[in-house]
Structure 1
């Protein structure tokens, strides 16, 4: 698509958002902390800030989410919240003995202007007996930025606080900075791909071990599984770092600056060309050819693209997702010959400049509803279902939150296998519509119709 035909609107000019797409920075930071083994995220703010974030994560992952708060009130907000922070950390360490406590600020403390660096130093000076627990503080005001920004801030804070430079390099050890747009299933797939070349990845954060579904024998108030604090410290000895997502670029630069470990940036890992780029890098790092399993997966993806491009060609699709996931999905759809008529992001991001879409804007689900009236499909999270139903356009669910489908955290959309699964899921929606209505039916497939599959029993992801 020619760039001259692209319409870019910096943001939607309206007084209020009726169906928000944006999620806050503290929530993104909490998810990043949850990818660390035996970690307990701590919101430095009021109890309400924590409660709403907790509900959203529980509904999406259907897992017990450990999340604590410093319970700031009116008095501590005015006079300063250090006492609340110190008491909360001491209580958590004494009762739960976590390996790490990840602190994320909220609008309450950021508006007050809490000096988090100074509070960290003061806590360490006043509590030398708690040196065995790692502490990471991240500034994540929820009145600025969004979900990806908070996730990136937490990962950057972990890199700066925990990673230790090393004069020794382990040739087979590879760091992976996994962006917030990667599901636990995506992280697991990425690990399998890297290990197939004989390499040992350290994933930061590693949601595949903590948020993909585990049943502990005993109750634990901390995260169950994930990258360990010792592994994070050892990232300085790796041979290279793979950075996935534009919002992780700052964390990748911080890691390279601190350790001199070279980094390789991937804007997306969904699609044939993107997957080929990753495999070529791993072949170069390991000195080994691609495993037979990956070669078979690539052949299957190419065949699926040949089979499915008939159903994607010239389809009009509207997408509303977090910036890096938005970039990955719109790029894949353009590869398949579809026309992305609208791309809506909740926040500004440099990656928006590279999107392939007719209209690009920062907005919410109500903006998507307006832009998608002539679309064949909407791609967004579960909060987009009401708007899709009103305008009669089917919805393919992606991103977070996805609370009305099982297995949201287990879906795979990266690499050859993940790209093929995404292709088949969306392609089946178009195929089902053609089978039900015929190629000459101009009416939209209603968002509340079962299209002959008994309400979604065929495996498609329509409403």
Structure 2
């Protein structure tokens, strides 16, 4: 791809259209993948309200999320009383299997000793000795969504997983990173079970965030991996680790149980899917199921059909680091040129990106870098910038609040890779058809010729600056 220019951080004094999401929000999503769990933000009510709205808009589900409701006085003098009262109230009223505590900027700035508060709670509340309680330090002024997710998963491993004297034949752990949607997790479950293996996902968003209608109201998370299953992870034959940010949790699990880890930096694309399937075949001692062989043939055929539309296309991508790596690698495999890869945080995986420009920045940086692009790949917050510069937007990641079924999208394995290829390829094909119909004068802004800037934005006759309508 020529010379690579790297810009560690945007030079702007302020973020005007943020791409970054906070650590507490990532921790909350991890906790929501545990059955009968109650995530608890140790901070002010506002910290919880904003996170709650974002998750509700993305998943379109009832999201259980509680707060210790810190005010000015408790923030200055110490918030242990608020924390203890919140945990006791939740335990008595909701009977959760696990309470996951995530700190916020309020408590982290104060510098509260969360380990000491955990010990104090256990000593002062012996009647709640059976309650599983996980504390994660997740300051929202450093790190980002992936860091908070990883901290929560690591806390769950350290608190709940138990070493085992014997191994359960065919049982495997899967540490599923936050870049995997509930649909991705469900697809992975089908692939793994196709080899006769029994997977334990941590967290398991496919059972809690994929859409369920309970007969009775429950104040805790509905579905997900159970506390009993998490405790049994020490008896597995191996742990599949998906995503760079899951390495810390994998190290904690391996240290505690001696279960070996197998790392996957991505599961999108032909080569990545082949490695997963080969690993599962070796673990199970079984041949690859015919269904997966058919799916692989379909992906190869789709790559042959679609590579004409990806060749030399210029694409800008702005996503969380591990999803950013998976998507940019897949696009590069298909012959596209990733002209800009924008991450909300600095992580080790950025060093592996195949992109002309790699930057830690926000959506306004994407808008600047993508003016000559054929496509932008980002979440729903990128829609306004994409509309301003007349470049189509393919929505991925979180949040995606202007589309139905955001949590059910699949982009892993042979089938998911094929679906992603077709979705993006169809945007290019549609754009070329519009270009042919309206003439070369429309050029890069061909979306204007069809009254559209992206997959779903229709111009309103001048409200967005174009002449359509």
- C-alpha displacement at 1:435, in angstroms? 1.1
Where do 5+ consecutive residues of structure 1 fail to align? 458-463
In the other structure, the counterpart of 1:85 is 83
Secondary structure of the structure 1 residue equivalent to 2:84:
helix
User: Are the counterparts in 2 of residues 389 and 448 from structure 1 also a CA contact under 8 Å?
Assistant: no
1:461 corresponds to: none
1:242 touches 1:266 (CA, 8 Å); kept in 2? yes
Any idea what SS the aligned residue of 1:18 has?
coil
| 2:319/2:344 contact within 8 Å kept | yes
Q: 1:123–1:454: structure 2 CA closer, same or farther, 3 Å change rule?
A: closer
Determine if contact 2:447/2:453 at 8 Å carries over to the other structure: no
Contact 1:369 1:388 in 2 (8 A): yes
Correspondences of 1:52-451 after superposition (within 5 Å): 52-438=50-436, 441=440, 442-446=443-447, 449-450=450-451
1:253-281 Cα offsets, whole Å, 9 max, x none, are: 11111110000000000000000000000
The verdict on how the C-alpha distance between 1:122 and 1:19 changes in structure 2, with shifts beyond 3 A counting, is same
- In structure 2, the CA distance between the partners of 1:295 and 1:94, relative to structure 1 (3 Å rule), is same
Contact 1:432 1:451 in 2 (8 A): no
Deviation of 1:453 after TM superposition, in Å, equals: 11
* Cα 1:452/1:143, change in 2 over 3 Å: closer
1:438 is displaced (CA, Å) by 2.2
Shift of 1:445: 2.7
8 A contact 2:394–2:454 mirrored in 1: no
Whole-angstrom CA distance in 2 between matches of 1:138 and 1:131: 19
User: Take 1:91 and 1:254, find their aligned partners in 2: how far apart are those partners?
Assistant: 31
> Following the alignment from structure 1 to structure 2, what is the Cα–Cα distance between the partners of residues 387 and 455?
14
Give the SS at the match of 2:157: helix
Alpha-carbon spacing, 1:452–1:397, altered in 2? closer, same or farther (3 Å)? closer
Q: CA deviation at 1:454?
A: 10
Q: 1:121 to 1:185 in 2, by over 3 A?
A: same
* Inter-partner Cα distance in structure 2 for 1:107 and 1:452: 38
Aligned length: 455
Alpha carbons of 1:381 and 1:452: their partners in 2 closer, same or farther (altered >3 Å)? closer
Q: CA deviation at 1:449?
A: 4.2
SS of aligned partner of 1:217: coil
Q: Distance in 1 between matches of 2:397 and 2:386?
A: 16
Taking the aligned partners of 1:333 and 1:427, their CA distance within structure 2 comes to 11
For 1:40 and 1:455, the matched residues in 2 are separated by: 35
Q: How much does 1:446 deviate?
A: 2.9
CA distance in 2 between counterparts of 1:390 and 1:452 reads 9
Shift of 1:13: 1.2
- Pair 1:452–1:368, CA change in 2 (3 A): closer
Asked whether the equivalents of residues 389 and 447 of structure 1 are also in contact (C-alpha less than 8 Å), the reply is no
Contact 1:60–1:401 (8 Å) recurs in 2: yes
**CA distance in structure 1 between the aligned counterparts of 2:201 and 2:321, rounded to whole angstroms:** 21
1:30 matched to 2:28? The reply is yes
Contact residue 392 and residue 453 of structure 2 kept, 8 A:
no
Deviation at 1:171, TM superposition (A): 2.0
TM-score by length of 1: 0.96
Alpha-carbon separation, structure 1, partners of 2:22 and 2:452: 36
Distance between the aligned counterparts of 2:9 and 2:357, measured in 1?
12
Quick one: distance in 2 between partners of 1:409 and 1:443?
31
Q: CA deviation at 1:451?
A: 6.0
**Mapped partners of 1:370, 1:386: distance in 2:** 13
Alignment partners' CA distance in 1, 2:177 and 2:360: 20
Distance 2:444 2:89 in 1: 60
For 1:127 and 1:15, locate their aligned partners in 2 and report how far apart those are by CA, in whole Å: 47
After superposition, give the CA deviation of every residue in 1:166-220 in whole Å (9 maximum; x if it has no partner). Answer: 1211120000000000000000000110000000000000000000000011111
Confirm or deny: 8 A CA contact 2:393 2:454 kept in the other structure.
no
Greater Cα shift, 414-423 or 165-174: 165-174
> Normalising by structure 2, what TM-score?
0.95
When the two chains are superposed, the root-mean-square deviation of aligned CA atoms in Å is: 1.6
Deviation at residue 14 of structure 1 after TM alignment: 1.5
Deviations 1:124-162 (A, max 9, x none): 111111122210000000000000000000000101111
TM-fit CA distance, 1:245: 0.2
| Unaligned segments of structure 2, at least 5 residues | 459-469
Match of 1:460 in 2: none
Q: Could you tell me how far apart the structure 2 residues matched to 1:368 and 1:71 are?
A: 36
